[in-house]
Amino acid sequence: MQSNSLARFGTTDKLNLMNSSSLPSPQVPYPAYYSAPNNRVSLSGLWDFVFLGDIDTDKFNPADVPYREKALVPSAFDAMPQYAGKRGVAVYRRFISVPENTSARMEFEAVSLWCRVYIDGHPVREHACGYSPFGVDLPFHSKVVRELVVVVDNRFDFDRVPMHEEYFDFYQYGGIIRDVSLRVRPRAGSWVRAVRVTPIDHMTGEVEVEVDLEGEPIHGQKLRMRFDLGESELLPDRPVPGKICLRRRVPAFRIWSPKSPHLHAITITVCANEGEAVSEMTERFGIRTVKVRNGSLELNGSPLRLLGYNRHEWHPNFGPATPTLQMVADLEWLKMLGCNFVRGSHYPQDRRFLDLCDELGFLVWEENLGWGQREKTFQSLQFRKTHAESLVAMLAASHNHPSIIIRGFLNEAGTNESYVRPIFEESVATIRRLDPSRLVSYATMFPLTDTCYDLVDFISLNLYPGWYNCEGAARPLDLVSEYIRETIEKIDAAGWAKKPILISEIGAEGLYGWHDAHDDFFTEEYQAEYLRRACETALDHSRCCGIALWHFSDVRTYGGGWSLKRPRTFNNKGTLDEYRRPKLAYRAVREIFTQVDAVRPV
């Protein structure tokens, strides 16, 4: 069972690593991805590649491309030595085979920043957000071998790619940065396009199941549903394909929680007359509920305290296309630090990372891409549309992951002004409509002048007292506790005392290996003491439902003239450096987090 689950990651070293750790092992098989007849095939591997640089993509002709090299999919081409730091157009090509006169769907998990997909020389789809998944339908054809070309552009262009702006405080790479896969549809009969499971009640194991079916049903077709490896149930026949929605109690259910991350599987099968499977999909899910009650967060009815970090998907050798083994190692670090929570800053998360969080029992905040946008961005209709589309795509892609308990969007937008309101209202409404079982929040940098607290389940504050804006302060470290307490007091006085407060970011830079007699800014000592005070103050405060420190590891950010406050062109607020070497802060945080009971007495 275990090897079946881990086979998705394609190597056995993960097996050793996970077995040798204290991490819990997965409980159910997860055959969805490579199991026939669902026919999902990964297109990862070496593709033909060329970097064309500064060309006009409107004049691009896929017939004229001088492929000179090979590139690995997934990867970021500008994280590779030859193209490090370059911006421009790159072209990827590979051939795929699909049985003749059969349609198929390709699923791209992330292509950054912008791309256009061509099939057999014809443009079929453009996509303009580097972290949101999208699908491409492959039209019927008598040819079995089809040419797939993806033109990728990592140049910033607000009109075309309004979701990405150059000033974001993390380096935005180019390439097919996450997996691509192909699902072949059956020649006849309905096709299971998606299965969504929403946990309703952790006491009874009740879940809501939604099944999206496509295609013409064949005569006598039957639909079956099975939980785990149990008996299958025949579902009411649907002459017209479409959506099926029902509620069931999962037999012999077990609750998912960080301490015991039990997972279940659901399999939906479309069977032909004789009983053989025409189409099938297995999805994994967990039964847990998350709520805000009496000013506290609750997981499965017990008060919950979030202890964790913000984490970018990033490694210096690979950029955002982190190997699974690195993700496992990062989660091991977080476990050793005593964390139960990761804020996936600042974009939709890699599916592999969410799978690991499901299995290893981490709670996750997932948010739609955004970083500090202001009025110019909010006024763009193109931005509003792209933001809404990628929010919906994120919600659909990660619906079944029990680890995700919070949905967020647009980190540190201009929420002190009214221009954000339409997009904020719209985004919260979308999340509540499509994903009502999770909590909604966004991280604000305007704790005392924010205009959107009414929209969310709890308030999330990004605070940097004793780091930013403390020029002239005699003892900047003293500002940390003072500011946290005063800010919470003022928020309560402004009428928000019933909403829990999460410190969604707080931190200071510490350069790995940097010490001096002053213990001043940028030393490991200053950072360690800063984080110690931040954690102690937040976790001691009855209004605070948790803390997510900024940041897990050092990460590359903007360069050139933008980088004056960013030594090495890195955001150096990592508790670990970019190669995951622990700084002094590691011990300070671990000492506090490992002493705290995450199930907090109220």
Q: How far is the CB of 311 from ligand ADA (least distance, A)?
A: 11
Q: How far is the CB of 140 from ligand ADA (least distance, A)?
A: 45
Q: How far is the CB of 329 from ligand ADA (least distance, A)?
A: 22
Q: What are phi and psi of 250, to 5 degrees?
A: -70, 125
Tell me whether residue 83 or residue 347 sits nearer to ligand ADA (CB atom): 347
Q: Is 183 helix (H, G, I), strand (E, B) or coil?
A: strand
349-to-164, 180, 307, 365, 568 alpha-carbon distances in Å: 16, 15, 19, 9, 26
Tell me whether residue 113 or residue 213 sits nearer to ligand ADA (CB atom): 113
Q: How far is the CB of 484 from ligand ADA (least distance, A)?
A: 15
Which residues are near ligand ADA by CB under 6 A? 169, 345, 371, 411-412, 462, 505, 550, 571, 573
Tell me whether residue 169 or residue 355 sits nearer to ligand ADA (CB atom): 169
Tell me whether residue 500 or residue 574 sits nearer to ligand ADA (CB atom): 574
- 334-372 as b/e: b if 16+ CB within 10 A: bbebbbbbbbbbbbbbbbbbbbbbbbbbbbbbbbbbbbb
Tell me whether residue 117 or residue 506 sits nearer to ligand ADA (CB atom): 506
From CA 140, how far away is CA 105, in angstroms rounded? 11
Angle separating helix axes 524-540 and 478-491, nearest 10 degrees: 30
Closest listed residue to residue 75, CA positions, set 353, 321, 314: 321
From CA 273, how far away is CA 270, in angstroms rounded? 10
Q: How far is the CB of 250 from ligand ADA (least distance, A)?
A: 38
Burial of 146 (0-12, 13-18, 19+ CB in 10 A): middle
Q: How far is the CB of 568 from ligand ADA (least distance, A)?
A: 14
Burial of 81 (0-12, 13-18, 19+ CB in 10 A): exposed
Give the start-end residues of each E strand in 202-327.
206-214, 222-227, 232-235, 243-249, 264-271, 277-285, 290-293, 296-299, 302-304, 306-311
Tell me whether residue 345 or residue 430 sits nearer to ligand ADA (CB atom): 345
Tell me whether residue 412 or residue 450 sits nearer to ligand ADA (CB atom): 412
Q: How far is the CB of 347 from ligand ADA (least distance, A)?
A: 11
Determine contact, residues 451/413, Cβ cutoff 8 Å.
no
Select the residue whose beta carbon is closest to ligand ADA and give its number. 169
Tell me whether residue 153 or residue 412 sits nearer to ligand ADA (CB atom): 412
Tell me whether residue 256 or residue 552 sits nearer to ligand ADA (CB atom): 552
Q: How far is the CB of 447 from ligand ADA (least distance, A)?
A: 12
Q: C-alpha dihedral over 214, 219, 222, 223, to 10 degrees?
A: 10
As given in the structure block, the two tokens for residue 191 are: 């096709």
Name residue 200's amino acid. Answer: I
Q: How far is the CB of 327 from ligand ADA (least distance, A)?
A: 20
Tell me whether residue 185 or residue 573 sits nearer to ligand ADA (CB atom): 573
Tell me whether residue 330 or residue 412 sits nearer to ligand ADA (CB atom): 412
**Residue 254: its H or E element:** none
Tell me whether residue 250 or residue 544 sits nearer to ligand ADA (CB atom): 544
Q: How far is the CB of 169 from ligand ADA (least distance, A)?
A: 3
Name residue 250's amino acid. Answer: V
Q: Give long-range contacts, CB 8 A cutoff, 24+ apart: 563-570.
A: 566/169, 567/509, 567/511, 567/522, 568/511
Q: How far is the CB of 237 from ligand ADA (least distance, A)?
A: 51
Q: How far is the CB of 411 from ligand ADA (least distance, A)?
A: 5
Q: How far is the CB of 16 from ligand ADA (least distance, A)?
A: 35
From CA 390, how far away is CA 382, in angstroms rounded? 12
Tell me whether residue 51 or residue 550 sits nearer to ligand ADA (CB atom): 550
Q: Is 325 helix (H, G, I), strand (E, B) or coil?
A: helix
> How do 306-311 and 341-344 pair as beta strands?
parallel
Query: Tokens 């002239």, residue?
Result: 472
Q: How far is the CB of 444 from ligand ADA (least distance, A)?
A: 10
Tell me whether residue 345 or residue 441 sits nearer to ligand ADA (CB atom): 345
Q: How far is the CB of 565 from ligand ADA (least distance, A)?
A: 8
- Other Cβ atoms closer than 10 A to 63: 8
> How do 290-293 and 243-249 pair as beta strands?
unpaired
Determine contact, residues 135/106, Cβ cutoff 8 Å.
yes
Query: Tokens 């030595």, residue?
Result: 81
From CA 103, how far away is CA 394, in angstroms rounded? 25
Tell me whether residue 83 or residue 464 sits nearer to ligand ADA (CB atom): 464
As given in the structure block, the two tokens for residue 57 are: 């993509």
